[in-house]
Amino acid sequence: MSSCTVRPVSVGTFRPGLLIGDHVTHELDILYALGIEPRIPTDVLVAVLNAQVSFPSPFVPAYRNSRGLRLIATDADWFHGDGDQLVEGKAAELISVLGNRAAMLPRIRGAGAGILAARVLSRRTAG
């Protein structure tokens, strides 16, 4: 019988919804890279959007990226924000862009799209 002397290190606790958002974001990364349109249920996408724009996450910068913008999902009953700078796109596309996926920027539109693009491009990190 062996004894393990190394204990796993915890990263802390997270609000419900943060980790599902991280998983959905990475699933979208894979699907879009393969040229496959996502078929994630709309209620899941809406739940992820709600969680990500409602409070800061150590994984996805959607909360910070969404400040001052009015976001509207064109394929779901979802919107966020009351700013006059409108950004529209499909729910999955908004999740990707709010998560700093610059490759998805051409899929969003609206008066605030340039503002969001500048935020995404200025905050990109390696990896």
- The pTM for the full model equals 0.83
CB distance 98 to 60 below 8 Å: yes
Which phi-psi region, left, alpha or beta, contains residue 43 (left: φ > 0; alpha: ψ -120 to 50)? alpha
At 12 the three-state DSSP class reads coil
Compute CA distances 33 → 38, 59, 96, 112, whole Å.
Answer: 11, 20, 12, 25
Domain borders along the chain are 18-122
Q: Can you give the pLDDT of all 127 residues of the chain as single tens digits?
A: 556 566 655 555 656 555 788 889 999 999 999 999 999 999 999 999 999 999 888 778 899 999 999 999 999 999 999 989 999 999 999 999 999 999 999 999 999 999 999 999 997 654 3
At 15 the three-state DSSP class reads coil
